[in-house]
Structure 1
Amino acid sequence: MGKVVLVTGAARQLGGRFVRRVQRDAGVDRVIAVDAVAPEHPLGSAEFVRADIRQPAIARVLAEHAVDTVVHLDVTATPLGGGNRATVKENNVIGTMQLLGACQKSPSVKRLVVKSSTGVYGSAPRDPAVFTETTPPKSLPSGGFAMDAVEVEGYVRGFARRRPDVAVCVLRFANILGPAADTPFAEYLSLPVLPTVFGYDPRLQFVHEDDVIDVLLIAADEPRRGTLNSGTFNIAGDGVLLLSQCARRLGRPTVSVPLPAVRWVGSALRTVGMSDFSPEQIRLLTHGRVVSTDQMRETLGFVATYTTAEAFADFAAGRGPGVLPPEAVARAVDRISTLVSKERV
């Protein structure tokens, strides 16, 4: 008998992709795809179970199918269907609590993989240049999806103490990009004009959605020789991009907003449909964030196929041309830089 893998968040694009991919692994016997709503995309040969992880019924799903591997992808910043921010938080936090409670009672569960975010480090002016998995944040997130991720990780650590026999892997993803990315940061980068914080040009990291699927497969599998797929790992592509570089490569003009007015801009963007333009998102656009991926490579044994720049390029290609041709934006910025340099001389 092969493994029985339960995947939460199957109705979302990322969850659906992982469900279709993991069922092709030779060591997997069955895949149970779970979500509160029916997915609009195909799930291959996986068995779909309509269940709300916020409800105790999820324990019955684990027991009925003798699940041994749980991949919890239903930790997200964007609502599904007609949900709002309160619904998202409840699903992230209460849903994770219920799922972990069900896993704790299930003797068959031997492996747990949880999708988290590098947002747990926050973004502050006195942050280190690079965060490692053990670096404490200078300022904890105060709200939004980042705060949800902090709470989720706290519950996961408690579960790991109560069930030391279960291999627990927490993957802290940088901003996920790709042609089909549906994250809040992808929404921000898709705006016709990008609001930026006056006087700041933050460093950013991205991870390609294809690499997300590949590293989830490693985390959900039995560890290979010389690797260990339990613990907490930062997941990001090599290198960084400045926000100004992102705007140039997209062909998007920017408008610099003084920091005191940025929250008003965030409120305005939420009214037009941006789901998580929270104070934490604004802090990221102000101070940026860069994480070390040494443990990802050396301990987990995963090397991202796409660098940060390549992940961004694939995302940009999928979004089509911006308001301005990227070449024209680059020439204009270079010309201005040259003029400024001459003035200083």
Structure 2
Amino acid sequence: EVNEADLAAHLDRYYTAQTHTGRALSYQPGQFTRLPNRYYRFQQGGIEFFALDSNTFNKPPPLPETEAGRALRQTLREKRRQLVQDKQARLDQLAVATVDLSESTDEMEDDYAKIEQIDEQLRDIDMQLSAHREDITVDLEQMDWLRQSLLRSWQNDAVRGRVLFFHHPPYVTEATKWSQGQTLAVRQNLQNVLDTVQQTLGDRTAGRSLVDLVICGHAHCFEHIETFDTGHADSHTHWLVCGGSGFSLRRQRPEGSELVDNVDGQPQTVAKSHCFIGRSGHGSEKRRPYSALRVDVTAGSVPEFKVTPLVAERKKKRWKTYAADTLLLKTSSEARL
């Protein structure tokens, strides 16, 4: 933390880069690696990166005061009751296992992971049940910053591609995240910004997506999702979820790899998961593939992204590391035909 007396000297020392908006932080690998707070952008190799703080636009809207809204509220309350019971049963089971060591370490880890998963689901349900119109705050300043930054980016001929990255994925098929209130809130708020940008740019994008790639975390898996026609300016976009490197890997939802939403009042497939790396199997065949990610960008005026998941997998109490098949993400309008 820089105190006020030293602030001017700090700015003169580190904010030495010049942009059209004024001075910018000069990131120096190995020397000065602090990042701006909350949201920022930078450019490398003709690719412009936009970092967002999705914690400021992820609150679900209040449930509607309609018959459908009341039914949903009742469903959420019942689901919450069942989750609380499930959590208590697992806590009781763990207490017994800790005393007599009757469970294997893997089984105990699974119980701890499931409890963590339940806590996460309970938090999301509580956010939905307690939401009130006056409490819903969206960081409008950040949203306007993103809108203006994307417009400037598309007016800059030196920029050949655009990548967004933030925490909460708007599209995901991980079993506990795909329908969460936070997921849908982030999706809607991002769509609102992108729709406004698209309306302003008109034909300038020449059929390309406003953003070539979106990278998120939060969901405990690796996933590549592609949107189709969503009825919004986030159509035909590649989305990567890179959240499978820590505790409590999750499974893909049993409903499958396609996500359905209403487009012009009709249910329609709006996105599909092309690759999912997460927990799978049962018993002795259970697999835990933890993952990181490497992204390479091709040359040319319209970049392509080569995505390689790097996996450290635990199975039958043994570890193995490997690189999964590389995914080629094409971003030109012709590539989607």
Name the TM tier (shorter chain): 0.3 to 0.5
Task: From the CA coordinates, give the structure whose radius of gyration is larger.
Answer: 2
Task: Give the helix-richer structure, 1 or 2.
Answer: 1
Higher relative contact order (CA 8 A, sep 6+): 1
Q: TM-score, normalised by structure 1?
A: 0.32
Name the structure where strand makes up a greater proportion of residues: 2
